[in-house]
Structure 1
Amino acid sequence: MDTQRFFIELSYDGTAYHGWQTQPNSVTVQQELDKALSVFFRQPVVSLGCGRTDAGVHASKFFAHIDLQGVPAERAATGVNGINALLPYAIAVKRIFPVDADAHARFHATARSYEYHFHFHKDPFKLNRSWLYKAALDIDAMNAAAASLMNFVDFTSFSKSNTDTATNNCKITEAFFRQTENGLVFTITADRFLRNMVRAIVGTLVLVGRKEIDLAAFSAVIESKNRSNAGQSVPACGLYLVNIIYPFVN
């Protein structure tokens, strides 16, 4: 039977999951997705995601690719409702579409965007979806420091140690804060991200906002290439993967 590669676009609330990637003795988004796909298409299905999100991190837009044997593109595309019926409510498939046999959800992505959400007053509707932060922050200083990220390439200072990446170089193309009615949203886009990178960047920018370090000290943290000099990682609940760009996906 012919094999066809498909891309799947999905979103998920990561609160109940130990991240995206399947791992022993933990419930993950990939595990739940593969189980539902295997039942629906009546064949073993193993997805490969566009990246790895940590435990408690959310995604409003996430892509994975799968290979299916003997499944017409139309059947796969119209199977979204049936697959969603098999998935937990916190995971939703948005679309499935055929791609070239060598299309790769991780390696062919040209840009990724994350948001980090803060709220300043207790709000039960933001529980597990935003970080409740009550101290005063200098948003202008934080934005100045965020803009300076684009002057650097090596972000070892914001990476988890002992990862399997060949390089810690990333090209950041935007990084800024915008205020909302009851909070703050940080947006960052780059060609790639390191493990824990966004949460470590936000944690260090919070030190700028609290006036514990200035712009020069923030730059020195990056130049040190030492994770221990950066701020603490902020809680996972406020982090969202919000966009992935591919040259062949609309």
Structure 2
Amino acid sequence: MTRYFLQLAYRGTAYHGWQRQPNGLSVQEVLETALSTILRQPIAIVGSGRTDAGVHAAEQFAHFETDAPLPIHLIRSINSMIPPDVAVYDCFPVRPDDHARFTAISRYYQYTISRRKDPFRDGLVYVFTLPLVVEHMNEAASRLLHHIDFESFSKVKTDVLTFNCQIERAYWEQQATGDVVFHIKANRFLHGMVRAIVGTLLAVGQGRLSVAEFDQIILARDRRKAGRAAPAQGLSLVEVGYPVEVFAAIKSEKTKE
């Protein structure tokens, strides 16, 4: 049995998140159906993380196992079978114990806010036209790097053993286009964490919360103290980090088109 990693991307608008759902189509289901058809055996895939409904991924990784030989044009075959809003870029063998989720050492998200309505990016950005003081939002965002427990930004019903996350990057970027983009990178994220942080930082940017109050929200470890979660459409997973050893096999035995 050989384990493979898939590198892929998707626009999450039409999906009920990454993970299979009993009441809606997921990205995982789309990929598993295509792979099972191509390899003529049931294939289960495991993603690096479970993006919520409507959330996008510019870079996502998943792994699967099979004892069947992979077709030469596997990537082309998969992409011909899946919808146009999902794309597979690469497939390569990894070590038996390499795991798309548990071997990952970092995840990097961006949340994009457009300051005006844009019909060409509907579903890809959050349109927010109220005044914002980005400097205050950045001052508050910097406080995230001084904390570890982020229970205040986690969905209440969750099965995690710890609310601890190591955040190494958290800042807002005012772009020349007018967009305001939040960048955040950590070793792991809690369910709904990024959207809850963004929603609370927007309250800081509007002057409804001070930086000191934002800090107290983190210390409270109470989701009820934080702001409303920002809408899903502005959020994208843009990078998943792994130890360099995970990609060592690519040099000698990479699956290509």
Q: TM class by shorter-chain length?
A: over 0.9
Matched, 1:112 2:107: yes
Matched, 1:131 2:129: no
1:156·1:168 contact (CA, 8 Å) conserved in 2?
A: yes
Query: Counterpart of 1:164?
Result: 159
Matched, 1:192 2:202: no
> Secondary structure of 2:6's partner?
strand
Superposition pairs for residues 56-205 of structure 1, below 5 Å? 56-72=54-70, 75=71, 78-180=73-175, 181-205=177-201
Query: Counterpart of 1:207?
Result: 203
Superposed CA deviations along residues 136-161 of structure 1, whole A, max 9, x for unmatched, are 10001101111110000000000001
2:39·2:68 contact (CA, 8 Å) conserved in 1?
A: no
1:4·1:71 contact (CA, 8 Å) conserved in 2?
A: no
1:204·1:230 contact (CA, 8 Å) conserved in 2?
A: yes
Superposed CA deviations along residues 89-133 of structure 1, whole A, max 9, x for unmatched, are 110001000001111000000000000000011110110000000
Q: Please tell me the residue identity of whatever aligns with 2:106.
A: A
Query: Counterpart of 1:48?
Result: 46
Q: Give identity over the alignment, percent.
A: 45
TM normalised by structure 2 equals 0.93
State the shift of 1:69 in Å: 1.1
Alpha-carbon distance in 2 for matches of 1:121, 1:156:
33
Alpha-carbon distance in 1 for matches of 2:153, 2:94:
34
Query: Counterpart of 2:10?
Result: 12
Alpha-carbon distance in 1 for matches of 2:3, 2:14:
29
State the shift of 1:42 in Å: 1.5
2:98·2:246 contact (CA, 8 Å) conserved in 1?
A: no
> Secondary structure of 1:116's partner?
strand
Given candidates 27, 30, 33, the residue that maps to 1:29 is 27
2:95·2:246 contact (CA, 8 Å) conserved in 1?
A: no
Q: Please tell me the residue identity of whatever aligns with 2:28.
A: Q
Query: Counterpart of 1:222?
Result: 218
Q: Please tell me the residue identity of whatever aligns with 2:129.
A: K
State the shift of 1:179 in Å: 1.4
Alpha-carbon distance in 1 for matches of 2:48, 2:69:
23
Q: Please tell me the residue identity of whatever aligns with 1:30.
A: Q
Alpha-carbon distance in 2 for matches of 1:155, 1:122:
32
Query: Counterpart of 2:228?
Result: 232
In structure 2, the gaps of 5 or more residues are: 248-257
Q: Considering only aligned residues, what root-mean-square deviation do their CA atoms show, in Å?
A: 1.0
> Secondary structure of 1:182's partner?
coil
Query: Counterpart of 1:241?
Result: 237
Q: Please tell me the residue identity of whatever aligns with 1:61.
A: E
> Secondary structure of 2:5's partner?
strand
Alpha-carbon distance in 2 for matches of 1:82, 1:128:
28
State the shift of 1:249 in Å: 4.3
Count of equivalent residues: 245
Alpha-carbon distance in 1 for matches of 2:23, 2:160:
25
State the shift of 1:70 in Å: 2.6
> Secondary structure of 2:113's partner?
strand
> Secondary structure of 2:215's partner?
helix
